[in-house]
Structure 1
Amino acid sequence: MGTSVQVMPLSGAYGEGPLCYLLAVDGFRFLLDCGWTDHCDPALLQPLARVAPTIDAVLLSHPDMMHLGALPYAIKHLGLSAPVYATEPVFRLGLLTMYDYFLSRWQVADFDLFSLDDIDAAFQNVVRLKYSQNHLLNDKGEGIVIAPHVSGHLLGGTVWKITKDGEDVVYAVDFNHRKERHLNGTTLGSFIRPAVLITDAYNALNNQVYKRQQDQDFIDSMVKVLSSGGSVLLPADTAGRVLELLLIMEQYWAQRHLVYPIYFLTNVSTSTVDFVKSFLEWMSDSISKSFEHTRDNAFLLRHVSLIINKEELEKLGDAPKVVLASMSSLEVGFSHDIFVEMANEAKNLVLFTEKGQFGTLARMLQVDPPPKAVKVTMSKRVPLVGDELKAYEEEQERIKKEEVLKASISKEKELKASHESNAKASDPMVVDASSSRKSSNASLQCFLSLKILLTGMTSARLSILMII
């Protein structure tokens, strides 16, 4: 092969970690995905930290944490400054995924790895491409063409083809051959003998049952619990596989005339569905044709209520209901809190539709047999009052005075150095742009994170089922 190609896995190749690969094509360095787990452990990003400043372009394949969760952190802290390429759905839904994750963390505790501003900064310059659109790179990447192709699995999901001098490198992870309600199957089979194929076999050993039977089992397991007076929790992602689940439930609720309420609960559920309604061209042929003939949008949900807080659920009390809530790992977010509330009732069901991330509460509950007891940490923000508030304000005032003093000393040193060298300086004090405005966390500091440990929730008091 005339073209030099080097591949180095940074994460995800030797286990179940988030996806991140370094690909060099004739010296042009691609970062293939930039994933992170729901734990957001910076130690996992050490391999990425070593190469981030040298990256020339970033290619994102899917709009979930495991494929793009580390992007804001890498740009803010690791020196990643390369242009980012993605499809329009991966861009939009990936942005909402990061919003949802940040808000889920921030609502219960301080979170300083990245802010909403950092998320916006990471996504504002993403170059959006259409499926099969050839994009010619410039400068250092001259002669290299990149093109996104259908991968299935998630809306906007991408198999990337990188071409140089007639040689193809194909990056295809988490693809799906099956055609689903809202997505076509992957086009991976159309590629003819690429020079290099980067792929995975994460689900290779799973026994795949017929789709119709799988959907039937999924619905039957919920209806059995609901008809017995229980409720169902489906831990879900923000804007990925949950879209397929919503359509399945819409169809069966209509066919069976079911009246049990369904709630889709994330911090961005309304925005998610609003964007998805406009992405029909990225969906399956059947959805596109249906819209052309009837003007009926598949995501005009009639049986699912979109909510962004738990107030609607609390109004129902113990009434039977289905709740699809983020995050799917159960580590954080609405699903975490609802799990704790449902765990003490044997009539309730937690239904998993995908394998949980390694080391998370969801994964712990999916082992066979399930654990007899689990320990869950509950965090809650409470406002500081009295002596605690006074001490906090005094500490903030002290920090502010120290910063002013440091800035003054730094300015004096710069002025002195300028005079000594007789250099003309238009402005001896350099002010970082970020200091001209408050961080999005600034107004949130007057809170104390309260943690409660709940133990002894035995598996016998809560049904747990996994359908993949």
Structure 2
Amino acid sequence: MFTFTSLLGAQSESSASQSLLELDGGVKVLIDVGWDETFDVGKLKELEKQVPTLSIILLTHATVAHLAAFAHCCKHFPLFSRIPVYATLPVISLGRTLLQDLYASTPLSATIIPASALSEASYSYSQTVSSNKDANILLQPPSSEEIASYFALIHPLKYSQPHQPIPSPSSPPLNGLTITAYNAGHTLGGTIWHIQHGLESIVHAVDWNQARENVLAGAAWLGGAGAGGAEVIEQLRKPTALICSSRGGERNALPGGRAKRDELLLEMIKSSVSQGGIVLIPTDSSARVLELAYLLEHAWRTEAKDDDSPLRSSRLYLASKNIGATMRYTRSMLEWMDDAIIREFEANAGLQQKETGPQSSGNSKSGSSAGPFDFKHLRLLERRGQIDRILGQTDSLGRSVGKVILASDTSLEWGFSRNVLKSIADDSRNLIILTERLGKPEGDAKTGLARTLWSWWEERQNGVLSETTKSGVTIERINSGGRQVELQHAKRVALEGNELNVYQQWLATQRQLQNTLLSGGTTSLESSADVVDDASSDSSSDSDDSETEQQGKSLNISATMGQANRKKIGLSDEDLGVNVLIRRKDVFDYDVRGKKGREKMFPLSIRRKRNDDFGELIRPEDFLRAEERDEVDGQDMRQPNKHDTRDTFGKKRKWEEPQHDRQMTNGDHKRQQTSRNQRDSIDLADMSPGPEDDASEDEGADAVDAVAESSPSKAIFSTEALTLNVRIGFVDFAGLHDKRSLQMLIPLIQPRKLILVGGMKDETLALAVDCRKLLVAQLGSSESTIDVYTPEVGAVVDASVDTNAWAVRLTSALVKQLTWQKVKDLRIATLTARLESSVVDSEPDTEESNKKQKLLKAEGEGDETPSSELVRSSTAHIEVPTLDILPSNMASATRSVAQPLQVGDLRLADLRKIMLASSHTAEFKGEGTLLIDGSVIVRKTGTGRIEVESIGLATSMGPGIGHGSTFYAVKNMIYQGLAVVK
């Protein structure tokens, strides 16, 4: 069984991607935790419902659309951080810096607490709403250290490395689930996921690029860069289901490919900076920015030697809050890039060693040679003050100096790109270059600034400025014409007065609700020192976590609140679920029909003793004398409201306990906090590095902002009308597949079922029609037999494999006669047997049977029915189909009919390598045809059938009909690549 549900990104203008795969046995796989520039917490509600039942999480790209909500879910969704997450090393490293940049750039990334949750927690919120319309109270955002700790939990994987993941504590067994990552070619470390589970072979390929770029190799469909294959690799060929993105399905590739694209960008930049203009290129801060930074840095290196080039006198900048860390991680991951980058690095390293000598420490930036990402011309900016200074720079005559600024983010809704655009908006010499196509918002969706500029580019209302350069390249720029856009600014302000009380009441409600719902379940946190929940035994057992780490962590439970007053929470039986068996008195029955996961199990945690190197932990309260039992844990039991802090130093303050009752000095608390941070984070010092440039004088302002983020706050919005006179250009640097790539590769992949997600509605439906026609022509079947699905958000697609499989029981005598042969990772055997039905008694265990007999004997006194009959009646009789050996009279008749069977799938590329190693000549002649020694042709049809033809000519190995001919040599090699089962 396999069902697919798109939680975000299907037939939608939103670029966010979230996919849910449910496999046989209740195994659920979440692929991507994406978000968009709106940071709407309402878009995560469906994901929030699925968290308790998820088995594993897979991440594909280090972009906002694929993992922007990861830190939010870890901080505010209980149990989310316990789910195993898998990704490649670049996605982990670059995703960490992306989210640190995101949360440092905009207060809206913290998300606004829904008004419904506040009104349920506090009656006074209704008065606040009536007076202030909306409080816009913010959740506490994760700190930089917390984001680093979340990403430290992700399990790194390498390309082409099959891995059997571990399930989450609440997940059913995975039953041999295998995941494998392949290069997607869109971002550094971007992944095409192959998931194998039983008979299901699923390929998840969202946002991939087959074309080779400056930094990234193409996708691994045909074997990656340098493979030169004409067939899709075996691991990704003929999956039972292919999940593919439709974004770019109607886009035609630029004639001339990558070289033409790069030349178009550089000519557009030269045309603007030669007039003293400023060029703004909005981009992301961790993924596609690497391609742009590499291209522009090497263009400046080349043009710096040309006296007539306008780039020589121009400046190049890259602005992002955490770009220094991003580039340091990038320099350490060159092996994930294209082979040309590795060769460039090795050549520059050898040249530098030859120039400076082996004894020199060598600064690659100062020498004549530099590595691929050792920037000699590109300057990194991480602070607002640095950007303001470079925007005001002029030459000795007071004229503006040409500048090119790469700034985050592409959406222009947050980051430095928004600030730069405001500064350059009034000058027509300036230019903003869009690097991605953006869809138009649907319905009442908010129109972002980048979408507005893209709509202007498509409309071309105020005229187009076309220019042909010396190299013959025609560039087009659109005039803004003084049109106005409305900018909305969000400012973080500390809470005070009634709003602070509302927030504290909401926070208290969430804490109490979390403790109520999680107590008694398999994921509850035990307060006793002698037991520990088995589900959380692998995690840290320290109980001194900071209180701020828990704030707002139960936001997802607020939707399940029934009627709650200000003093006591009342939960209905539906809210408690299966926990009603232990939370309610005189409740002994619970209907589990139609339930899944933990809702079908009795809420009893498996407990075990907690030991250390010296044995079982000692509970001091078990050894108290009678006169000491009146005071336990610093609490005078005779006076419950009076606390004694003599023995509670270093312990966590209870939620109901006031802060002033804890006799702990600020200095002691700070020392504890410092030591805890040093213990919990081994390498967090490297996670938030400073900029590569010298620190600017605006460090104090950043420190003030950081303090504000750690306190309860709200968002205040203001609007501003901005008049635009800048020109708008477009060069496609999205790095996504185009129409030709999709139409060429999908028939070669030959999926049994095709699911299209991740695109606008029109392009998704259009691509579905094209793919259906292509697959019909490839497979030679009717359109009705081709399954192409185009689900919408929330729709469930049943894409199970159309295979009939049965489970049978083999007798011991038959098993002894089987001859097993190994085919790749499998062991197979043929058998001829007789099918019969046998009855299997599922008898209870001896110990359980004895207990039941004693219980029935005690309860059945005076009853006429003996207890032994009751036990015997509880024994189940199950009919199981069984295969047994054939009788001797039937075995002789079937033995003469049986024929040998060849099992396996031989690839022509492998056969070519084998023949070349055996001193034969072998070359491909057309698609699916291999010519060996000029006399033997080997063809492989679409159904997998291998055909061998020979013209019968003699060769150096012997006569054409002899045993040593090429024909028989090829046949022997083919048989060696297959398993012959008799």
Quick check: TM above 0.5? Answer: yes
* Alpha-carbon distance in structure 2 between the residues aligned to 1:360 and 1:405: 36
Q: Assess if the C-alpha contact under 8 Å between 1:108 and 1:380 holds in 2.
A: no
User: Could you say which residue in structure 1 is the equivalent of 2:285?
Assistant: 238
User: Could you say which residue in structure 2 is the equivalent of 1:215?
Assistant: 262
1:453 aligns with 2:719: yes
User: Could you say which residue in structure 1 is the equivalent of 2:448?
Assistant: 360
* Alpha-carbon distance in structure 2 between the residues aligned to 1:287 and 1:331: 33
* Alpha-carbon distance in structure 1 between the residues aligned to 2:99 and 2:44: 17
Pairing 1:76-225 to 2, within 5 Å after superposition: 76-79=75-78, 80=80, 81-106=82-107, 112=139, 114-116=141-143, 118-138=146-166, 140-165=173-198, 167-188=200-221, 189-190=232-233, 191-209=236-254, 210-225=257-272
Match for residue 547 of structure 2 among 410, 416, 435: 435
Q: Assess if the C-alpha contact under 8 Å between 2:138 and 2:713 holds in 1.
A: no
Q: Assess if the C-alpha contact under 8 Å between 1:232 and 1:351 holds in 2.
A: yes
Per-residue CA deviations over 1:330-371 (Å, capped at 9, x if unaligned) read 011111111111111111111111124754210111112267
Larger radius of gyration: 2
Q: Assess if the C-alpha contact under 8 Å between 1:329 and 1:356 holds in 2.
A: no
Deviation larger for 112-121 or 221-230: 112-121
Q: CA deviation at 1:294?
A: 3.2
User: Could you say which residue in structure 2 is the equivalent of 1:388?
Assistant: none
Match for residue 339 of structure 1 among 407, 421, 430: 421
> What amino acid does structure 1 have at the position aligned with 2:20?
L
Deviation larger for 80-89 or 291-300: 291-300
* Alpha-carbon distance in structure 2 between the residues aligned to 1:101 and 1:142: 38
Pairing 1:22-33 to 2, within 5 Å after superposition: 22-26=20-24, 27-33=26-32
Q: Assess if the C-alpha contact under 8 Å between 1:173 and 1:199 holds in 2.
A: yes
Deviation larger for 243-252 or 73-82: 73-82
Deviation larger for 120-129 or 436-445: 436-445
Match for residue 407 of structure 2 among 312, 321, 325: 325
1:306 aligns with 2:380: yes
* Alpha-carbon distance in structure 1 between the residues aligned to 2:337 and 2:13: 28
* Alpha-carbon distance in structure 2 between the residues aligned to 1:69 and 1:158: 17
* Alpha-carbon distance in structure 1 between the residues aligned to 2:713 and 2:334: 43
Q: CA deviation at 1:165?
A: 3.2
* Alpha-carbon distance in structure 2 between the residues aligned to 1:178 and 1:241: 14
Q: Assess if the C-alpha contact under 8 Å between 2:381 and 2:387 holds in 1.
A: no
Give the RMSD, CA atoms, in angstroms: 3.3
User: Could you say which residue in structure 1 is the equivalent of 2:610?
Assistant: none
* Alpha-carbon distance in structure 2 between the residues aligned to 1:405 and 1:102: 25
Q: Assess if the C-alpha contact under 8 Å between 1:136 and 1:142 holds in 2.
A: no
Q: 1:113/1:161 Cα in 2 relative to 1: closer, same or farther (>3 Å)?
A: farther
Per-residue CA deviations over 1:366-409 (Å, capped at 9, x if unaligned) read 11226732111244568x9xxxxxxx677799789989999xx9
User: Could you say which residue in structure 1 is the equivalent of 2:698?
Assistant: none
> What amino acid does structure 2 have at the position aligned with 1:145?
T
Secondary structure of 1:162's counterpart equals strand
Which structure is higher in RCO with an 8 Å CA cutoff and minimum separation 6? 2
Per-residue CA deviations over 1:303-324 (Å, capped at 9, x if unaligned) read 1001101333333315321111
Match for residue 283 of structure 1 among 332, 337, 349: 337
Q: CA deviation at 1:30?
A: 0.3
* Alpha-carbon distance in structure 1 between the residues aligned to 2:247 and 2:85: 26
Q: CA deviation at 1:204?
A: 1.7
Per-residue CA deviations over 1:177-228 (Å, capped at 9, x if unaligned) read 0111111100123221111111112012112112111111111111111111
Any stretches of 5+ residues in structure 2 without a counterpart? 111-136, 168-172, 222-231, 305-310, 350-369, 393-399, 442-446, 461-479, 514-526, 531-542, 552-705, 733-982
Q: CA deviation at 1:168?
A: 1.8
Q: CA deviation at 1:5?
A: 1.5
1:467 aligns with 2:751: no
Secondary structure of 2:29's counterpart equals strand
* Alpha-carbon distance in structure 2 between the residues aligned to 1:132 and 1:405: 48
* Alpha-carbon distance in structure 1 between the residues aligned to 2:347 and 2:251: 38
Q: Assess if the C-alpha contact under 8 Å between 2:138 and 2:714 holds in 1.
A: no
Per-residue CA deviations over 1:128-149 (Å, capped at 9, x if unaligned) read 0011111113461131111111
Deviation larger for 70-79 or 439-448: 439-448
User: Could you say which residue in structure 2 is the equivalent of 1:15?
Assistant: 12
* Alpha-carbon distance in structure 2 between the residues aligned to 1:61 and 1:176: 13
Q: Assess if the C-alpha contact under 8 Å between 1:91 and 1:123 holds in 2.
A: yes
Pairing 1:402-413 to 2, within 5 Å after superposition: none
* Alpha-carbon distance in structure 1 between the residues aligned to 2:174 and 2:529: 38
> What amino acid does structure 1 have at the position aligned with 2:382?
I
Q: CA deviation at 1:448?
A: 8.5
* Alpha-carbon distance in structure 2 between the residues aligned to 1:437 and 1:10: 27
Q: CA deviation at 1:47?
A: 2.2
Q: CA deviation at 1:83?
A: 0.8
* Alpha-carbon distance in structure 2 between the residues aligned to 1:201 and 1:207: 13
Q: 1:202/1:404 Cα in 2 relative to 1: closer, same or farther (>3 Å)?
A: closer
> What amino acid does structure 2 have at the position aligned with 1:141?
L
Match for residue 254 of structure 1 among 301, 316, 323: 301
Q: 1:121/1:158 Cα in 2 relative to 1: closer, same or farther (>3 Å)?
A: same
User: Could you say which residue in structure 2 is the equivalent of 1:421?
Assistant: none
Per-residue CA deviations over 1:115-169 (Å, capped at 9, x if unaligned) read 2255334322100001111111346113111111100010000001111236421
* Alpha-carbon distance in structure 2 between the residues aligned to 1:312 and 1:142: 55
> What amino acid does structure 2 have at the position aligned with 1:369?
E
**Equivalences, count:** 438
User: Could you say which residue in structure 2 is the equivalent of 1:294?
Assistant: 348
Q: Assess if the C-alpha contact under 8 Å between 2:62 and 2:92 holds in 1.
A: yes
Q: 1:51/1:290 Cα in 2 relative to 1: closer, same or farther (>3 Å)?
A: same
* Alpha-carbon distance in structure 1 between the residues aligned to 2:157 and 2:55: 17
Q: Assess if the C-alpha contact under 8 Å between 1:36 and 1:67 holds in 2.
A: yes
* Alpha-carbon distance in structure 2 between the residues aligned to 1:44 and 1:299: 37
Pairing 1:7-86 to 2, within 5 Å after superposition: 7-17=4-14, 18-26=16-24, 27-79=26-78, 80=80, 81-86=82-87
User: Could you say which residue in structure 2 is the equivalent of 1:416?
Assistant: none
Secondary structure of 1:298's counterpart equals coil
> What amino acid does structure 2 have at the position aligned with 1:114?
P
User: Could you say which residue in structure 1 is the equivalent of 2:685?
Assistant: none
TM-score, normalised to structure 2, is 0.42
Q: CA deviation at 1:451?
A: 5.0
Secondary structure of 1:338's counterpart equals helix
* Alpha-carbon distance in structure 2 between the residues aligned to 1:336 and 1:225: 20
Q: 1:162/1:48 Cα in 2 relative to 1: closer, same or farther (>3 Å)?
A: same
* Alpha-carbon distance in structure 2 between the residues aligned to 1:369 and 1:303: 36
Q: 1:185/1:457 Cα in 2 relative to 1: closer, same or farther (>3 Å)?
A: same
* Alpha-carbon distance in structure 2 between the residues aligned to 1:332 and 1:443: 17
Q: 1:449/1:167 Cα in 2 relative to 1: closer, same or farther (>3 Å)?
A: closer
Q: 1:6/1:447 Cα in 2 relative to 1: closer, same or farther (>3 Å)?
A: closer
Per-residue CA deviations over 1:16-66 (Å, capped at 9, x if unaligned) read 321111012222110011100011001212221221221110000000110
* Alpha-carbon distance in structure 2 between the residues aligned to 1:398 and 1:161: 50
> What amino acid does structure 1 have at the position aligned with 2:433?
L
* Alpha-carbon distance in structure 1 between the residues aligned to 2:433 and 2:491: 25
> What amino acid does structure 1 have at the position aligned with 2:87?
A
* Alpha-carbon distance in structure 2 between the residues aligned to 1:452 and 1:144: 51
* Alpha-carbon distance in structure 1 between the residues aligned to 2:245 and 2:8: 12
* Alpha-carbon distance in structure 2 between the residues aligned to 1:401 and 1:174: 42
> What amino acid does structure 2 have at the position aligned with 1:330?
L
* Alpha-carbon distance in structure 2 between the residues aligned to 1:244 and 1:339: 22
* Alpha-carbon distance in structure 1 between the residues aligned to 2:252 and 2:157: 35
